[in-house]
Amino acid sequence: MRLWRTLVVAADSPLGRVAPMLDELTAHLPPPNQPWACSLCSTESWPCSRFDQAAHHLRRAGLRLSDLIPLDLHPRLWPPPGPRPPQQPAPPPARPDLDEERPPDG
Ligand SMILES: [Zn+2]
């Protein structure tokens, strides 16, 4: 169970205008220790589509999502860069003589 804080903002302020989307985003956060499970959507894993939609609106409103998401969920949304996979050897260059397989002009 997450702990919540209640915040009061003027409805006609920039934050007040997107507050319903912020409520939506927060409602679709997973519980602690279950970062794959949305609290509301039983058929989707997290991040669920309604969370994604709210996040999209909030980003467009200029809010930073990382300020709105609990820290324990950051690795789910923004996985840390892992070690790079080993480089595949480059394929040998194409042989130019194979590119010339055109029928001779009759
Ligand atoms: Zn959800």
Q: What is the pLDDT of residues 76-95, one digit of tens each?
A: 999 888 777 677 766 666 66
> For residue 45, what are the β-bridge partners?
37
Q: Which of 36, 40, 44, 43 is nearest to 28 (CA)?
A: 40
Mean pLDDT of 37-51: 94
Distance 60 CA to ligand 1 centre (A): 20
Residue 102 pLDDT exceeds 70: no
Question: What pLDDT score does 80 carry?
Answer: 86
Residue 78 in tokens: 């923004």
Residue 42 pLDDT exceeds 80: yes
- Kindly report the pTM of this predicted structure: 0.73
- Angle between the 14-27 and 49-60 helix axes, to the nearest 10 degrees? 160
What is the pLDDT of the chain when averaged over all its residues? 87
Q: What is the pLDDT of residues 52-63, one digit of tens each?
A: 999 999 999 999
Question: What pLDDT score does 44 carry?
Answer: 94
Residue 66 pLDDT exceeds 70: yes
DSSP per position, 41-85: -SSSBSSPHHHHHHHHHHHHTT--GGGTS-GGGHHHHSPPP-PPP
Distance 22 CA to ligand 1 centre (A): 13
Distance 43 CA to ligand 1 centre (A): 9
Residue carrying the six token digits 């050897």: 89
Question: What pLDDT score does 81 carry?
Answer: 86
